[in-house]
A and B are shown apart, each in its own frame.
Chain A
Amino acid sequence: MKFITEFRRPELARGLLSQIQSQSRTKARFMEFCGGHTVTIFRYGIRQALPRTLEMVSGPGCPVCVTASADLDKAIALSRVPGVIITTFGDMLRVPGSRSSLEKAKAEGADVRMVYSTIDALRIASDNPDRSVVFLGIGFETTAPTVAASVLRARERGIKNYYVLSLHKLCPPAIRAILDSGEVRLDGLICPGHVSTVIGAHPWESVAHDYHIPGVISGFEPLDILQAVSMLVAQVERGEARVEIAYRRGVRPEGNPEALRVMERVFETGPARWRGLGEIAESGLKIRGEYQEFDAERAFNIVPEPAREPEGCLCGEILRGVKMPLDCSLFGKACTPEHPVGPCMVSSEGSCAAYYLYGGSLGG
């Protein structure tokens, strides 16, 4: 557990909290973009520990949650194509699409397999040469390079039955969409840590500049979050709008050049549909023509029925930070982690799941 538990020491948390308390004068609302940060904030009771001047809202940084119903429907339809094996990270299985879920499709006979890594998906492809193995490419800039690496590996090894349905999304365009909408006033951004491990600090600097909003790139342990909040408070009190890296052990200003190179070789940017945010230009990653034989979108011409959203579900508004989970009439009643209606309750890092598991003392 080295480089993990040291960043959870309570006596150091008390020091950071008292620094925040003594610095914070101005009322400010910060958004943690990333679902991983949301989980840390809830698990360690950070919202309740912060002074009353500070409010935290959760952003759309949960790849499972922002996958549009129409895209999920496409994945479910693909799973019903004879000879297809769907490989996916576990989180996606239970997310309800318009009419079904991958879990239900599997129960009805579709071959849907949970994998930990694209390396496992590639292995399934080489073990099943007479089947078509489709990996559901869900995830942000953290995950996209690993999927790109699997495509390069498939080409190198001559694996011809491996396909990726690329639903990858990019974080900075989503933050811009939220700031452009003006629906929620934000005074600071806790920028995603492992996304920034790949992309670095520079893409956030233009966001900070264009919207005059401070940003701090944070790690995922409780001390990391407190440090990021403290740095945001310091900027707010000084009227600054810079990007700082708090998570210095994991993020370099330039990111990971090799991961970026691999990602850019395989993918190009294009429009993407986000649940809650709609279509955002240049916010998605599509497979380049040069690698089109691995593109599930081209290999299988899937046209699912028109998508519909679950009735009464506020996931979209919650992802934009406009509504809180407790505002939803389904929350904790019709919609629970055991029987989720919307994706924000399915994913362990969805806002609704975090509220349900840890948010009891936040009240309604």
Chain B
Amino acid sequence: MCLAIPVLIKSIEDSEAEVEIGGIARRISLELTPEARVGDYAIVHTGYAINILDQEEARETLRLFEEIAAAAKEES
């Protein structure tokens, strides 16, 4: 029930944003994330952005996973 997915903010008008979810254009509320900007990925839950995804942290986490995978490969 706490399902939330990252979606790209395409445009912002007042406290609403236009996004695309599964190929369908939707409007979401930015009332809980006033810091949202066009080009951000909002984490969307029941029609509201509940946070802005930290893209740098996402890339950093994936880099870490790649290092772990490379180290595991070397060991085997």
Q: Which residues of A contact B (CB under 8 A)?
A: 2-4, 6-7, 9, 11-12, 14-16, 18-19, 22, 34-36, 61-64, 89, 91, 116-120, 138-140, 142-143, 145-146, 149, 153, 192-195, 197-198, 220, 223, 227, 246, 248-252, 256, 258-259, 262, 347, 349
Cβ of B30 to closest chain A Cβ, rounded Å: 10
Residues of B within 8 A of A262 (CB): 31-32
Where chain B touches its partner, the secondary structure class is mixed
Cβ of A221 to closest chain B Cβ, rounded Å: 10
Q: A145-B50, A197-B51 are in contact. Are A227 and B29 (CB under 8 A)?
A: no
Number of interface residues of B (CB under 8 A): 38
From B8, B33, B53, B71, A250 is in contact (CB under 8 Å) with: B53
A197 touches B4 (CB 8 A): yes
Residues of B within 8 A of A4 (CB): 5-6
Residues of B within 8 A of A145 (CB): 32, 48, 50
From B6, B29, B58, B68, A149 is in contact (CB under 8 Å) with: B29
A249 touches B50 (CB 8 A): no
B50 touches A142 (CB 8 A): yes
Cβ of A353 to closest chain B Cβ, rounded Å: 13
B72: CB under 8 A from chain A?
A: yes
From B41, B51, B65, A15 is in contact (CB under 8 Å) with: B65
Where chain A touches its partner, the secondary structure class is helix
When each residue 59-73 of chain B gets 1 if its CB lies under 8 Å from chain A and 0 otherwise, what string results?
Answer: 011100110111111
B3: CB under 8 A from chain A?
A: yes
B72 touches A116 (CB 8 A): no
A259 touches B50 (CB 8 A): yes
From A19, A116, A192, B47 is in contact (CB under 8 Å) with: A116
For A249, give the chain B residue with the smallest CB separation: B58
B6 touches A2 (CB 8 A): yes
A116 to B71, CA, bound (A): 44
